[in-house]
Structure 1
Amino acid sequence: MARWGITIPFAGSGLDRELIAELPSLGYTDAWSAEVNGNDGFTPLALAAEWAPELRLGTAIVPVSTRGPGLLAMTAATLAERAPGRFLLGIGASSPAIVERWNAGEFVKPFARTRDTLRFLRRALDGEKVTEAYETFSVQGFKLERAPKTPPKIVLAALRPRMLRLAAAEADGAITNWLSPGDVQKVRGEIHDETELIARLFIIVSEDADRVRAIGRRMIAGYLTVPVYAAFHDWLGRGEVLRPMHEAWAAGDRAAALKAIPDEVVDDLIIHGTAEQCRARVNEYVENGLTTPVLAPLDLGDQPMDQTVRNLAPQ
């Protein structure tokens, strides 16, 4: 079936119970959460599981280094029990800022930690008793008291070939971010055609291109200067066009960094225009191989978020 996801909580309006309950009738198939410095990744989905039992639910993503392996398994099992067969656990390495500076963890060997967590979760969520020395952690005798009757699918945040191939080989799908419709083909080239590919797509429903680009530049500078995203866009082929931004950012000149981002990069990575134009752009991603678009509309205050969500529903 064709999938059409949305990010919850909604920007500007939070966990709107009535709107979440309305999503299936609007044509939305999925609700996905994130976990950065706002809501945690699981609570919004636990509520949505009750408010809209038709929706598939997913985390995109929860970090593998901010919870212990056992706690992550317990939390996933709890939600899988509340939404049997319709919960996807999205996990990923995250970033040094989130893991170390905000959560007092250690951001070490991110690929290996993600791989080891995936392998542990497979066994734990199947109800096995796990005693294993992995490369990045050890577990002694962990067994879920209540393993879910239907273990959740596990999908990996993956931006470059090594993690994408791990997602295709051992997980149930890959989650990506900050890419254009054309970039989807390059990402898809690293994974099997049958592998689910999920992406959060930032959307601004506005015809004020100058305002949109100003907002987009701030977002792009904030994300794409993070090493993992910088490497991702080097791989996608934007290394040279983004070099002036990186150099200005490294020099501490934030204003120059923003100015150095070309309009075409913003237009590639931020969907904007009328609701109809935005929907058409989302469909370009799908036509290029994206399985599950997850819309992330931003709130400019021009119209209520519930109206934006309704206007972006698939037609």
Structure 2
Amino acid sequence: MPELALTIHPRPGQMRAVQDMARRAEEAGFTGVSTPEATMDSLIVSTLAATATKRIHISTAITNVYYRHPAICAPAVSHIHEVSGGRFILGLGTSHRLINGPRGIDMGAPISTMRNYVEQLHKFMPASGGPPIYLAALRKGMARLSGEVADGVLFNMVPLSRFPEAIAAVREGERKAKRGQHTRIASLLGACVSDDLEQAEAAGAAWAANDESAAIKAVDDPMVDELFIYGPRDRCLQRLDHWRSTGLELPIVSPRSLTGDVTQGFEDALKGLAPNASKQPATERKR
């Protein structure tokens, strides 16, 4: 069965919902859940998800390398990997200046910072070992670094038509490092599952523009199609297949609702994209 993961993003003050969300995703047939860090601690959320599930992989998308020293991060992720029974994937990223700047973080040179962070992380990792490491990449530089030093790459906001080119950068990094190891290809994919195609497309435009009203006007239909999965279940599944055909191995759906609410988006995606939905009687799917 093709892999398909779903991001978990509970509303503020509802962290207890994480375990239920992860459990339901597993029951629905998703192969993994992923936790962001914009407003949460990705490692704590991952621990909650791991203790509530038995089979699916748990990943972070992403864990910000500027937030934790490698000496602190290494044992923490090793413990999560152990608690999960080897199901944890550490997704590392540098985030953005708009996120890090207000927190007083000087990002310096992100690619050099990431390279050094991964090296130090391995240095401080306990003897018991740690999880696979995926690097978040928006551009070719970080994609190449993923091929050099990581177990996987986690793309975001890479257009469908440019995806083969992005993967080629990863393979270039592999050749440069002479690793002889396959770097797995994952990507966050924004999605809105709804029978209202026009409104779902509008939700995609808002997502692509980061909800900035002025920027939304500049997002045209082809751009939404390149970056976002939207519409009824069958259309969304078809678009996922298109992404997989380019070399994507692990799609991680980042859901939104028609109103932009990520928690409602989770419910919509859980019902609309559930791999087990086709195995359920029609009367159950209508509930």
TM-score range, shorter chain: 0.7 to 0.9
Mapped to 1, the partners of 2:80 and 2:33 lie a distance apart of 14
For residue 130 of structure 1, what is the aligned residue in structure 2?
none
For residue 34 of structure 1, what is the aligned residue in structure 2?
36
What's the CA shift for 1:64? 1.0
Of the candidates 242, 259, 271, which is equivalent to residue 284 of structure 1?
242
Mapped to 2, the partners of 1:310 and 1:61 lie a distance apart of 25
Of the candidates 172, 175, 183, which is equivalent to residue 195 of structure 1?
183
Q: Any gaps of 5 or more consecutive residues in structure 1? A: 128-146, 224-248
What's the CA shift for 1:264? 1.2
For residue 214 of structure 1, what is the aligned residue in structure 2?
202
Tell me if structure 1 keeps the 8 A contact 2:192–2:203. no
Mapped to 1, the partners of 2:138 and 2:256 lie a distance apart of 23
For residue 152 of structure 1, what is the aligned residue in structure 2?
131
What's the CA shift for 1:304? 8.0
Structure 1 or 2, whichever has the larger Rg, is 1
TM-score in terms of structure 1 length: 0.75
What is the CA deviation profile of residues 167-197 of structure 1, one whole-angstrom value per residue up to 9, with x for unaligned ones? 1121101000113333221111122393201
Mapped to 1, the partners of 2:148 and 2:18 lie a distance apart of 37
What's the CA shift for 1:25? 3.4
Aligned residues: 262
Q: Which amino acid aligns with 2:167?
A: R
Tell me if structure 2 keeps the 8 A contact 1:157–1:175. yes
Moved more, 116-125 or 7-16: 7-16
The 5 Å alignment of 1:46-85 reads 46-85=47-86
What's the CA shift for 1:208? 3.0
For residue 97 of structure 1, what is the aligned residue in structure 2?
98
Q: Any gaps of 5 or more consecutive residues in structure 2? A: 172-180, 279-287
The 5 Å alignment of 1:81-160 reads 81-101=82-102, 103-125=103-125, 127=126, 147=127, 149-160=128-139
Matched-pair identity in %: 28
What's the CA shift for 1:277? 1.1
Tell me if structure 1 keeps the 8 A contact 2:170–2:183. yes
Tell me if structure 1 keeps the 8 A contact 2:57–2:87. yes
Distance 1:4 1:270, change over 3 A: same
Of the candidates 12, 19, 41, which is equivalent to residue 17 of structure 1?
19
What's the CA shift for 1:28? 1.1
What's the CA shift for 1:16? 4.8
What's the CA shift for 1:113? 0.6
For residue 264 of structure 1, what is the aligned residue in structure 2?
222
Determine helix, strand or coil for the equivalent of 1:295. Answer: strand
Q: Which amino acid aligns with 2:238?
A: A
Tell me if structure 2 keeps the 8 A contact 1:202–1:296. yes
Tell me if structure 1 keeps the 8 A contact 2:74–2:130. no
Mapped to 2, the partners of 1:99 and 1:260 lie a distance apart of 26
Distance 1:168 1:304, change over 3 A: closer
Q: Which amino acid aligns with 1:272?
A: Y
TM-score in terms of structure 2 length: 0.82
Moved more, 170-179 or 305-314: 305-314
The 5 Å alignment of 1:161-180 reads 161-180=140-159
Mapped to 1, the partners of 2:25 and 2:40 lie a distance apart of 20
Moved more, 152-161 or 210-219: 210-219
Determine helix, strand or coil for the equivalent of 1:88. Answer: strand
Tell me if structure 2 keeps the 8 A contact 1:3–1:29. yes
Distance 1:35 1:288, change over 3 A: same
What is the CA deviation profile of residues 131-155 of structure 1, one whole-angstrom value per residue up to 9, with x for unaligned ones? xxxxxxxxxxxxxxxx5x2411111
What's the CA shift for 1:305? 4.4
